[in-house]
Copies of this chain bind each other. A is one copy, B any other.
Amino acid sequence: MKKHNFYAGPSILPQFTLEKTAEAVLDLNGTGLSIMSISHRSKDFTSILQETKSLIRELLDIPDGYSILFLGGGASLQFTMVPYNFLNKKAAYLNTGSWASKAIKEAGFFGEVMVVASSKDKNFSYIPKGYSIPPDVDYFHITTNNTIFGTEIKTDMEVPVPLVADMSSDIFSRPLDVSKYGLIYAGAQKNLGPAGVTLIIIREDLLNKVERVIPTMLSYKTHVENESLFNTPPVLLIYASLQTLIWLKKQGGLSSMQKLNEEKAAALYKEIERNKLFRSTVENSDDRSIMNVCFVMQEEYQDLETSFLEFATSRGMVGIKGHRSVGGFRASLYNALPIDSVKALIKTMQDFEKTV
């Protein structure tokens, strides 16, 4: 049976990425060597690294003055590295979910943290608006997409201080104005590649902003100066990510991708609205994520939750169980998810409704 992969991450990657990666694991471009078995200082790999950076620059239209890094430790390590490198006295954070809360906690180890707004009062079901950012903070941190709660900040903010964004689950889903950001970080395992590599896009004039001593591996400066080759990078994961970028470009780049993503999300939200059994957990449609669509059973059909999950599973739907802090269901519609999978899910929802 064909599987429809709605996992929230690690999640679906293009078939192109799978095939090219499998090929290179056996033999990299006819070299007789596996991509897993070559030195990170070899020409074979340094050219892969260069191509990966170039494609990211091209796809995101990154202006001069920004460096691109690939680090280990996931976005979670960035929760620590950001304040280690940037927090002198005070930083502002927007609390829009579990990951934002974790980032806030880590920043607290390094200085004063101002939570300028939070949607915790309603289980993070909306994106706060109308707050102000004090001009004397070292930076303002946001989580652009909240994977667990299905909300998303879908525009590039204009703020009076360096803007730091965790874009783990929506980077490459739409064109960005990178010039609005001081630092962007993103765990690869949604729209880019396999888990274990984190993409960092950093404005170079933000280095050397704090006086504290930073351990070498935790300093962005180390990695910028060594062009992301200070120590052995995750070679295989960068290679797989490159394949996704090549695929992205072939699909017409980020504008085409955004169009397709919006189409997929619109179709699913429409069905959630129409179907008597379900409701979205995010009231304001402007706040609804294009990447992670969260929905629950309507009050009167609560007891059908398990039945629907079983019904959907029997139709090949994978990974649609909602996170325990929201319940219900979550369908992640990352770049690589074909619209046919969304149609299959919609059909499943409709067919299940008929059985009720």
Encoded as 1 (CB less than 8 Å from any B CB) or 0, chain A from 15 to 37 comes to 00111011101100001111011
Tell me if B77 and A217 are in contact (CB < 8 A): yes
CB of A109 to closest CB in B, whole Å: 5
CB of A46 to closest CB in B, whole Å: 13
Tell me if B18 and A36 are in contact (CB < 8 A): yes
- Which of A61-69, A177-185, A226-234, A287-295 is near enough to bind chain B? A226-234
Contacts of A79 in B (CB 8 A): 215-217
- Which of A3-11, A254-262, A344-352 is near enough to bind chain B? A3-11
A2 within 8 A of B: yes
Tell me if B230 and A76 are in contact (CB < 8 A): yes
Tell me if A195 and B234 are in contact (CB < 8 A): yes
- Which of A114-122, A136-144, A157-165, A235-243 is near enough to bind chain B? A235-243
Tell me if B109 and A37 are in contact (CB < 8 A): no
Contacts of A231 in B (CB 8 A): 74-76
Bin chain A's interface residue count. Answer: 35 or more
A208 within 8 A of B: no
Do A32 and B3 form a contact, CB below 8 Å, given A21-B25, A236-B194, A237-B237?
yes
Nearest opposing residue in chain B for A236, CB measure: B194
Q: In whole angstroms, how far apart are the Cα atoms of A90 and B106 in the complex?
A: 27
Q: In whole angstroms, how far apart are the Cα atoms of A68 and B216 in the complex?
A: 25
Encoded as 1 (CB less than 8 Å from any B CB) or 0, chain A from 190 to 226 comes to 0001111100000000000000010111100000000
Contact surface of A with B, Cβ cutoff 8 Å: 1-3, 5, 7-13, 17-19, 21-23, 25-26, 31-34, 36-40, 42, 71-77, 79-80, 84, 102, 105-106, 109, 187, 189, 193-197, 213, 215-218, 230-237, 240, 318-319
19 pairs of residues in contact across A and B, judged by CB atoms under 8 Å: A1-B32, A7-B38, A10-B39, A13-B36, A22-B22, A72-B72, A72-B74, A72-B196, A74-B232, A76-B216, A76-B231, A77-B217, A80-B215, A194-B234, A194-B236, A195-B232, A195-B233, A196-B235, A236-B236
